[in-house]
Amino acid sequence: MTSLTPPTALTSLLGLELPIIQAPMAGVQGSALAIAVSNAGGLGSLPCAMLGLDALRAELTAIAAQTKRPYNVNFFCHAPPPPGAVREASWRATLAPYYEELGLDRGATPAGAGRAPFSDEVAELLGEFRPPVVSFHFGLPSPELLARVRACGSRILSSATTVEEARWLESRGVDAVIAQGLEAGGHRGMFLSEELTTQVGTFALLPQIVRAVGVPVIAAGGIVDARGVAAAMALGASAVQIGTAYLLCPEATTSAVHRAALLDRSRRHTALTNLFTGRPARGIMNRLMRDLGPMSDAPPPFPLATAALAPLRAEAERRGRDDFSPLWSGQNADGCKAVPAAELTRELAAGASAQS
């Protein structure tokens, strides 16, 4: 059936059979989901921001062993925050009542960033594996690091949330731009501004970026089924990147409380929140977001907010509660289905065939 899908500028460039990119989603998937999507003819993605070097090597080894098709590895490229003991202490004080409620010892909270930016060591490792595609979130790494990725022969993608960001990425030589509409789940890729009013819905963002840049444009945000794929192609997309719809697939590692929230039709209210990491990301409203307000001055800068929440999250989840868990989701969870990722990928791609 996939032979009916016509090639686009992007599928030709990346050697894909289908114009479907599975969005990298740190914390809810590893190589298994990426392998399934790539083997189905789409582009599977491995989220690497939360992987240490050994774990990254293991995942890349698994992918290389299990697919001969193109795949994508995704990295964050934030600037690590300056030391901020005061804000860290204030954040822990904000969370203290929850520690007390759950009977946890505040002294035992771990420190550390949790998410690391793209680095020399990672570039070195990529040189061994030469991944067909490397995508970035929060802009791009330094020109020197980017040149090392290019030298691997990898195609380079990055996300734009505004026309200005798309032009910035194109001028630095990305092979395609991901237009990340406001509907998207997880972290906003925004990097030229922190002002949330600059963030634009997919219907408005996608055609403006298509018009502004010469490279192929990948649509992301609110696309959950074949009709959404057809609509994105009608607006000029060369491919679509889809995350939320894959969260219930058996190959994803989505937690039980996260799966339950996605399946609950009474919980379709999402919001951008900086509580879980320090940067705005879209997730389903839960207790922490309601208590503190989804956007807050309380958490320390990205990615430091996560550490102090970790014990709360673990203990609450142990009790079957999602009070402190990031429940990443886009604004439309209607596409979530507990079916194998290959089946979902082919269903989504039917929208691209319909468009030809």
Which residues of the shown chain bind its own copies in the complex (CB under 8 A)?
163, 181-183, 197-198, 200-205, 207-208, 211, 221-225, 227-228, 230-232, 234-236, 268-272, 285, 294, 330-332, 334, 351, 355
Identity at 38, one-letter amino acid code: S
Residues 6+ apart with CB under 8 A from 209: 160, 163, 166, 177, 179, 217
CB of 261 to its own copies, least distance (A): 16
For its own copies, the closer CB: 140 or 219: 219
For its own copies, the closer CB: 44 or 335: 335
DSSP lists the bridge partners of residue 20 as 240
Contact 144, 171 (CB under 8 A): no
Between helix 163-171 and helix 202-212 the angle, nearest 10°, is 40
For its own copies, the closer CB: 81 or 207: 207
CB of 10 to its own copies, least distance (A): 18
For its own copies, the closer CB: 79 or 234: 234
For its own copies, the closer CB: 269 or 319: 269
β-bridge pairing 186-187 and 281-284: antiparallel
For its own copies, the closer CB: 254 or 355: 355
CB of 39 to its own copies, least distance (A): 28
* Helices vs strands, H then E, count in the chain: 13, 11
Give the closest residue to 182 by CA, choosing from 201, 208, 158: 201
CB of 344 to its own copies, least distance (A): 16
CA distance 256 to 320: 8
For its own copies, the closer CB: 176 or 232: 232
CA distance 296 to 283: 15
Residue 150: Cβ within 10 Å count: 14
CB of 110 to its own copies, least distance (A): 30
Contact 166, 177 (CB under 8 A): yes
CB of 301 to its own copies, least distance (A): 22
How far is residue 328 CA from its own chain's centroid? 9
CB of 342 to its own copies, least distance (A): 23
DSSP assignment letter at 116: -
Contact 206, 226 (CB under 8 A): no
Extract the tokens encoding 194: 């922190």
